[in-house]
Structure 1
Amino acid sequence: MEEEEGGALWTLVVGTLVFLITYLTDLVPEAFSLPAYIVAYLLLGYCVLREAAENILKRQPFDENFLMAVATIGAFAIGDYPEAVAVMLFSRVGEALEERAVNRSRKQVAAAIDMRPDVIHRLMEDGSTVEVPARDAVIGDVAVVRVGDRIPLDGVVVSGDSLLDTSALTGEPVPVACHEGSEVMSGSINTTGVLHVKVTKPLAESMVTKILESVEKAAARKPKIDRFITRFSRIYTPAVVAIAAATAIIPSLVTGQWHYWIYTALTFLVISCPCALVLSVPLSFFAGIGAASKQGILFKGGIAVEQLKNIGAVVFDKTGTITKGNFVVHEVRPADGRREEDVFRLCASVEQASNHPIARSVVEASEQRGLTLGTPSKVEEIAGHGLKAIVEGHDVLCGNQKLMDRHQLALPSLEAAEYGAELFIAVDGQYAGRIVISDTLKEDAVDAIKAISSLGITTAMLTGDSQQAADYIASKTGIDDVRAKLLPQDKVRQLDELRKQYGSVMFVGDGINDAPVLAGADVGAAMNSGADAAVEAADVVFMHSKVSAVPKALHLSKETMKIAKQNVVFALGVKGLVMVAGFAGFASMWGAVFADSGVAALCVLNSVRMLYNK
């Protein structure tokens, strides 16, 4: 691939230099100008000529390659060599920039999401550990996973207790407790205690490898967009060729002036040369992309802008995309006879001893309330359950229902929290209350979803979170279609189902786990606050990480396509007038130049106005 890119760049640079030196200087003698133009033309236009020839053999000739080949060969036939080479140059420069950006993005995505381990620490019979390549690990090996290390391979915990950060796999920030007998997935980060993990799947079958393969397969399945200029040329090309052929043959048969009418037909082909068309559409996209960047929306190419106008569904990840991805105290509900402030202060005093995200959110909330916390003693953190400590002479328990059951504390009949994690508190062996901690919606989420729906576009959500949490967010925002408890590869399958149901899909996410589905979506969009892999995999990046950027991007796409069509209609209208004038004998090659260069300049002005629209 790199060799192919290097060869393409070499021919582009050399061809451009030969053309510019021949056209702009006197370094090339006039006798050698034609050979020099031919060399430049072949270097710059070889790919176009080859594609045109291959399509003719496939009996599908009418695309932009055939159009440029016929027009430029016609230009050579009547001696307008610079025009022929310039068309090929404009085409090659645009393609080179686009291909370079796409290839760079794909390579960085693969590198960023590759969480496959190089080695594992194999536990030997004598208790020592040996570092071995991960690919050499076999089912039954026991790997030692230290605090801060990733789980190297899928397996089962045979010794130890810990909390695992699975956000790279599920996108959800709440750590998952594991203990002896728990199944663990490679790619998770061990956060609190040393684990001994018995390998159940080799590297080739583990989760980290599956995620990487999912990205590659999703990118391969991504629909290929039929470019606007290609669609248009299927009509324009045969029409131009037919008119030129008729011009050369029919009048010649009547008048016998073959030389005059063949020359006129070739001039017509030069006038019809697609230079202005090749420029007018990209100019519109460049202006649209520039206008979007002023609003914090980064499009990585014109294809994404074009495809957005055809979107039938916008699909969101939940955590970090629709929600802020943080934890806040949503509700404090004390038991009968207890004061809310007292219960919350005792709980926050105990939670000072933990680094768990939920514990930190409780402490932060206590600081915001201006509470004075006590100093906990005899603190015991029970992995996957919660904390036990003494505060101001009181035995305090703070944790989930498992902790309450462990200490045989009966809980009153309580309605389950509609959304979020429940933290129960017991003081001196008596239930004292509960705190509900939840992620929060982004401020603009509800209005953004409403704006998308008003465009007639379906909204959906794919998340690794629970069905209850997903349904709650959907009910608050008005999202139409909800699918929960999904792993990365599940999201790709669900995306394909949504595409079949609603048409082209746009996916908006922010995590490493979203990279496969971002790569597989018709248009992938990432929040800039998310993981590097998501940002690199996306076609669009929302720099301010706001949900409201989604309807703005859809609007900008429609405006860009409208201006692109205006430019095409204008370019063709002027070109048509010049063609008619040419047949009537009133248009010279200067008229043909205006039909290309002049129209292109006016299209620039029409496109640039997007940059000043508010």
Structure 2
Amino acid sequence: MNKKQKKMLIRILISAALLIGFNFLPFGGPLRFILYLIPYLVIGYDILIKAFKGIKNRQPFDESLLMAVATIGAIAIAIYSEVADHENGDYVEAIAVMLFYQIGEWFQSYAVGKSRRNISDLMDIRPDYANIEIGGKLEQIDPDEVEIGSVIIVQPGEKVPIDGIVIEGESTLNTSALTGESLPRDAQEGDEIISGCINMTGVLKIRTTKEFGESTVSKILDLVENASSRKSKSEDFITKFARVYTPAVVYSAIALAVLPPIVRMFVMGIPAEWGIWIYRALTFLVISCPCALVISIPLSFFAGIGGASNAGVLVKGSNYLETLSQTKCVVFDKTGTLTQGVFEVNEVHHNEMDRDDLLEYAALAESASSHPISKSLQRAYGKQIDRSRVTDIQEISGNGVMAKVDGIDVAAGNSKLMDRLGVKWIDCHRAGTIIHMAVDGRYAGHIVISDIEKPHAKEAIQLLKKAGVEKTVMLTGDSGKAAEHVAADLGIDEVHAELLPADKVSQVEALMKRNTGKGKLAFVGDGINDAPVLSRADIGIAMGAMGSDAAIEAADIVLMDDDPIKISKAIRISRKCLRIVYENIWFAIGIKLICLVLGAVGIANMWLAIFADVGVMIIAVLNAIRALFVKNL
């Protein structure tokens, strides 16, 4: 509870105590009015000031004006009743309206604050300091002051403040604040390490590779903190609705206070009963206050985003949460998303050339590439790569690599590359990626490389279908046979293979056209090579993005670990959040409409109006906070 909330709570308690005490006063008249004015001003002076400022700034139509007019009107009716009937006026209702309104506001402020604190606790990854060794002693400095290339020391129990590479030591890292998973990860010399993890066991020396402002922890915190700036359609609707709704109910209340008495007096020829109709109009104003909608809808999305971040799912805005809830088609990139991206050479089929010579030519030709397939060829070769033996390297997108090795022309790639060179190649019936080799213009054989499916990939597809996703599609640049083998094993509905990056964009656009009106399309990729597709889909999801700047920048939703099961969890979180939003909308509007009708015909009094305003708001806020809890989804 902050100072402002404590101050308001004291005001509430003082006003309530005075209201209860003055209710037993044995006398009336001006002194009674003056005494009751004390608790009214104690609890409502800020509302009156806000209403006055709104009128002064020509923006009068908000809940402060509604409360000010309703309560001042109720006091005026009490004074009139006291003067006309010579009885004690009932000031309790007017003060109670303001009191309960402020109780509702305090509760809402406390609930939002608690929600923010929960999110801050869940995302408690911002480091307070970085350790630098100076003269044999550790000194704590601000992470912002650490330059790229500096050596920092992280002791057991401390947070890793900045991204870098371990140059000394080994330890176990707790990444739960980033991934939502409690399973620790090992780190040793040479490993890349990202900020936000907690060092659990050994001392680590880390050479920083980024400034603090560009490190993973800063980007994640910026994402979560700025998510509220991207509003959903539901939030935009409520904002626009409130702008029209508030002046409409003010004018309706004026009409309710004025028109019936005039009709009674001049048309029907009976007493106007101004007091009764003004009281009904004031009750109408209290009931109509749109607090429940204006407060609970943004709070629902805020809580949903916070709950998702606790589960290792970063959502860049409530608009993306709303779009994700409508997802009916999920399109996957294969490598690094459904498979581990860890390629291994399984077989080498060679013609007249020796097996080891064929692997040597392949590894040297691919030595300039950082692609996982190239790395697997270099690992299979198993010797130090002498780059001086390789010249004239030419990489052809979607085909392969051509180079000169020891002055001999070598080509390593798919069947398209062989056709391009006019080399007759031999087909292979094994599932996997086939690297055809041409040496000195003649076909030398092929190498079979296979990727490994992720342990939970099959379960992830099943969970997506249980979550209501109607179609799953896989896009890959891999060979047709390898792609079809993976798709069949995982239970994917549709597969498109041998695609270039531009082809993936075209396929997504075609799928979106086919699915028009049938729900939204989500594309799931590793966020590095798939940036164009992530941007083009209705919703782009980057997974396994710990430390990947490209993923955080390109995607709308970022999954902080490599587990594809998180995709279905993200969809379930979004649907729970939207379900809560619609529950609050229908509940708030429904109760208010019923009470407005009852107030207009004179059945509802000011106490029912208080429930329709404050009671509905509290119920809606409590319901909204449920979006924060996603552990069992």
Category of TM-score, reference length = shorter chain? 0.5 to 0.7
Deviation per CA, 1:551-599, whole angstroms, max 9, x where unpaired? 4654554455334333333222233333xxxxxxxxxxxx553894699
Quick one: distance in 1 between partners of 2:321 and 2:212?
A: 40
Quick one: distance in 2 between partners of 1:458 and 1:29?
A: 68
Report the CA distance shift for 1:401/1:121 in structure 2 as closer, same or farther (over 3 A). Answer: farther
**Equivalent in the alignment of 1:50:** 49
Quick one: distance in 1 between partners of 2:173 and 2:260?
A: 76
For 2:102, the aligned partner's letter is: R
For 1:94, the aligned partner's letter is: G
Report the CA distance shift for 1:249/1:335 in structure 2 as closer, same or farther (over 3 A). Answer: closer
Quick one: distance in 1 between partners of 2:608 and 2:269?
A: 32
For 1:133, the aligned partner's letter is: I
For 2:605, the aligned partner's letter is: V
**Equivalent in the alignment of 1:484:** 542
Q: Secondary structure at the match of 1:62?
A: coil
**Equivalent in the alignment of 1:460:** 522
Deviation per CA, 1:203-252, whole angstroms, max 9, x where unpaired? 45544334334433444566776466665332111222245356788999
For 1:569, the aligned partner's letter is: L
Answer yes or no: is the 8 Å Cα contact 2:599–2:605 preserved in 1. Answer: no
Query: Aligned-pair RMSD on alpha carbons?
Result: 6.4
Q: Secondary structure at the match of 1:46?
A: helix
Deviation for aligned residue 1:328 = 10
Where structure 2 has 5 or more consecutive residues not aligned to the other structure, the ranges are 79-89, 309-317, 328-335, 349-369, 386-411, 414-426, 435-446, 472-514, 624-633
Answer yes or no: is the 8 Å Cα contact 1:52–1:69 preserved in 2. Answer: yes
| 1:448 matched to 2:475 | no
For 2:97, the aligned partner's letter is: V
Deviation per CA, 1:281-308, whole angstroms, max 9, x where unpaired? 68x989xx9xxx9xx99xxxxxxxxx99
Quick one: distance in 2 between partners of 1:482 and 1:449?
A: 18
Deviation for aligned residue 1:55 = 1.6
| 1:13 matched to 2:26 | no
**Equivalent in the alignment of 2:245:** 232
**Equivalent in the alignment of 2:206:** 197
Answer yes or no: is the 8 Å Cα contact 2:126–2:218 preserved in 1. Answer: yes
**Equivalent in the alignment of 1:72:** 71
Q: Secondary structure at the match of 1:78?
A: helix
Quick one: distance in 1 between partners of 2:571 and 2:219?
A: 30
Q: How does 1:258-277 map to 2 (within 5 A)?
A: 263=275, 266-270=278-282, 272-277=283-288
TM-score normalised by length of structure 1? 0.54
| 1:83 matched to 2:93 | yes
Q: How does 1:387-536 map to 2 (within 5 A)?
A: 403-406=379-382, 416=432, 436-440=453-457, 441=460, 443-450=462-469, 457-460=519-522, 481-484=539-542
Report the CA distance shift for 1:232/1:493 in structure 2 as closer, same or farther (over 3 A). Answer: farther
Work out which of the residue numbers 581, 585, 607 in structure 2 matches 1:561. Answer: 585
For 1:405, the aligned partner's letter is: Y
Q: Secondary structure at the match of 2:138?
A: strand
Q: How many pairs were matched up? A: 457
Quick one: distance in 1 between partners of 2:591 and 2:320?
A: 18
**Equivalent in the alignment of 2:150:** 141
Answer yes or no: is the 8 Å Cα contact 2:284–2:600 preserved in 1. Answer: no
Where structure 1 has 5 or more consecutive residues not aligned to the other structure, the ranges are 298-306, 317-324, 338-383, 385-398, 419-429, 499-506, 514-526, 531-541, 579-590
Q: Secondary structure at the match of 1:450?
A: coil
Deviation for aligned residue 1:60 = 2.2
Report the CA distance shift for 1:50/1:156 in structure 2 as closer, same or farther (over 3 A). Answer: same
Answer yes or no: is the 8 Å Cα contact 1:162–1:179 preserved in 2. Answer: no
Deviation per CA, 1:439-480, whole angstroms, max 9, x where unpaired? 330643224243799996525357656667999xx9xxxx95
For 2:251, the aligned partner's letter is: P
Q: How does 1:78-157 map to 2 (within 5 A)?
A: 78-79=77-78, 80-123=90-133, 128=136, 130-135=138-143, 137-145=146-154, 150-155=159-164
Answer yes or no: is the 8 Å Cα contact 1:140–1:199 preserved in 2. Answer: yes
Quick one: distance in 1 between partners of 2:175 and 2:204?
A: 15
Quick one: distance in 2 between partners of 1:116 and 1:554?
A: 30
Answer yes or no: is the 8 Å Cα contact 1:114–1:208 preserved in 2. Answer: no
**Equivalent in the alignment of 1:365:** none
Quick one: distance in 2 between partners of 1:480 and 1:218?
A: 18
For 1:567, the aligned partner's letter is: I
Quick one: distance in 1 between partners of 2:26 and 2:526?
A: 66
For 1:101, the aligned partner's letter is: A
| 1:208 matched to 2:217 | yes
Quick one: distance in 2 between partners of 1:94 and 1:331?
A: 56
For 1:130, the aligned partner's letter is: L
Deviation for aligned residue 1:61 = 1.8
Q: Secondary structure at the match of 1:198?
A: strand
Quick one: distance in 2 between partners of 1:489 and 1:192?
A: 28
Answer yes or no: is the 8 Å Cα contact 2:173–2:200 preserved in 1. Answer: yes
**Equivalent in the alignment of 2:391:** none
Q: Secondary structure at the match of 1:60?
A: coil
For 2:138, the aligned partner's letter is: V
Answer yes or no: is the 8 Å Cα contact 1:137–1:202 preserved in 2. Answer: yes
Structure 1 stretch displaced more, 114-123 or 184-193: 184-193
Q: Secondary structure at the match of 2:206?
A: strand
Q: Secondary structure at the match of 1:482?
A: strand
**Equivalent in the alignment of 1:593:** 605
User: Percent of aligned positions with the same letter in both sequences?
Assistant: 25
Report the CA distance shift for 1:265/1:488 in structure 2 as closer, same or farther (over 3 A). Answer: farther
Deviation per CA, 1:508-532, whole angstroms, max 9, x where unpaired? x77699xxxxxxxxxxxxx9x99xx
Q: Secondary structure at the match of 2:469?
A: helix
For 2:257, the aligned partner's letter is: A
Quick one: distance in 2 between partners of 1:49 and 1:569?
A: 26
For 1:96, the aligned partner's letter is: W
Deviation for aligned residue 1:274 = 3.5
Deviation for aligned residue 1:14 = 1.6
Quick one: distance in 2 between partners of 1:261 and 1:309?
A: 54
Deviation for aligned residue 1:435 = 5.1
For 2:141, the aligned partner's letter is: P
Report the CA distance shift for 1:415/1:138 in structure 2 as closer, same or farther (over 3 A). Answer: same
Q: Secondary structure at the match of 2:467?
A: helix
Quick one: distance in 2 between partners of 1:160 and 1:447?
A: 45
Structure 1 stretch displaced more, 59-68 or 248-257: 248-257
For 1:446, the aligned partner's letter is: K
Quick one: distance in 2 between partners of 1:43 and 1:595?
A: 21
Quick one: distance in 1 between partners of 2:163 and 2:343?
A: 39
TM-score normalised by length of structure 2? 0.53
Deviation per CA, 1:139-182, whole angstroms, max 9, x where unpaired? 553224578865433445666799988786688999798866x8
For 1:41, the aligned partner's letter is: Y
Structure 1 stretch displaced more, 566-575 or 65-74: 566-575
